[in-house]
Structure 1
Amino acid sequence: MFRDLAQLGVKSSTSEKKSMSPTLRSDVYTTIDQCKAWLAGMRGQTGDGVSYAPMLNTIKKHFPNTTIGLEALGQIEVEVGVIVGGITNMVLEMSKWEALAGGMAMRTWVNTLVNVYATIPQSSKKERIARGIVLGINQKTEYSLMTKEFAARIQIISCLKSLCPKIFGTGSEEGRQAEAMLSSKLI
């Protein structure tokens, strides 16, 4: 009877990690700093398919299946989406093991995204970066990684839900749509 559980995709408890990676916390903050510089540097260049490599390598250390395919080279939205989703996953993974630290890291991550986005001059590239951020938060993030601890979970959700209105502007149609999509994933 129980032999078929593996075929159904049910993980055994022995296959799950027993503790947090010893480098996860430092990797989260290092990657946030790298992303800050990377997004700020996108002001004048197009997606080059290479400059995100250090961040992607760190993300892959914790989530080996994270990739940006060759078809996405030069597509800013996809590049930004994968990096934003990967870093968000790292923060959520950290929250699973250290709930309060994960909540604080999420606040740092969201504030970094908002502050860097505000420095980018108005252009079509800024719009593509905004769509990439929303893509990363709404489609590239695995919310099952989030802590089960109530207070930290509320803090993380609050941070994430505040991101879209800050990126698109409070009351904007894009902000409301992105926030509604995020809410549907978190409920």
Structure 2
Amino acid sequence: MFRQLSNQLAATAKTTEAPKAIAPTLRSDTYTAMDQAKSWIIGGMGQAGDGVSYGSVLATIQKHFPDAKMGLENMGSAENEVSVVVCGVTNMILEMSRWEGMAGGMAMRTWSDALVEVHGRLPPGSRKDGVAKGIVRGVSQNTDIGLMTKEFTAKIQIISSLKSVCSRVYGAGSANARQAEAVLSSRLI
């Protein structure tokens, strides 16, 4: 009985092994996806919430996360579409951090600054509010924290950048920012 159990565990471990090296295009694809997402959110390549223009950025994300999908329930809503795209790019950065900790930390800082900049450039209104909710949900709730590096310094830098997105998008000290930071903190513990 013990032998059968150990054989099953060994077989499971063999089939779920992580890749042994970083994907050769992950770094360049990450920065490409950042640029595509920025342009898309602002409205340079269609517009978040139109239900179709997210295709190019999602294709870049799917090179490394083939299971990333928009889903019918997310189409046509700026908040939901932005959440999926932001989560995908953030996961790409976290995957990069697993292999190159400090490079992942710097990429996360660049990404968080880009998200805040994009949000700030949108005109006031319901679309801006939907994009803000999508950004924060994509960063704090949908991101796969298990992809993050184990290096202490890089991990602290990444966590700090993720938390700063919440407070910088909603405004430091606001109820929404505190709630988003609490959700993120609970997932990181």
Tell me the TM-score normalised to structure 1 length: 0.92
The alpha-carbon deviation at position 121 of structure 1 amounts to: 1.1
Q: 1:69 aligns with which of 68, 71, 76?
A: 71
Aligned to 2:186: 184
Aligned to 1:4: 8
* Percent of residue pairs bearing the same amino acid type: 55
Q: Does 1:26 align with 2:28?
A: yes
Aligned to 1:102: 104
Aligned to 2:164: 162
Q: Which runs of 4+ in 1 moved over 6 A?
A: none
Aligned to 1:86: 88
SS of 1:157's equivalent in the other structure is helix
The alpha-carbon deviation at position 12 of structure 1 amounts to: 3.3
The Cα offsets for residues 104-130 of structure 1, whole Å up to 9 and x where unpaired, read as 000000000001101111101111111
Q: Distance in 1 between matches of 2:138 and 2:9?
A: 32
Query: Is residue 140–residue 162 contact of structure 2 (8 Å, CA) maintained in 1?
Result: no
The alpha-carbon deviation at position 181 of structure 1 amounts to: 0.4
Highest Rg: 1 or 2? 2
SS of 1:70's equivalent in the other structure is coil
Structure 1 pair 162–46 and aligned structure 2 pair: CA distance change class (3 A): closer
Q: Distance in 2 between matches of 1:30 and 1:61?
A: 12
Q: Distance in 1 between matches of 2:92 and 2:48?
A: 26
Q: Distance in 2 between matches of 1:123 and 1:177?
A: 22
Q: Distance in 1 between matches of 2:159 and 2:93?
A: 12
The alpha-carbon deviation at position 4 of structure 1 amounts to: 3.5
Q: Which deviates further from its counterpart, 171-180 or 134-143?
A: 134-143
The alpha-carbon deviation at position 154 of structure 1 amounts to: 0.5
Q: Which sections of structure 1, spanning at least 5 residues, go unmatched?
A: none
Q: Which sections of structure 2, spanning at least 5 residues, go unmatched?
A: none
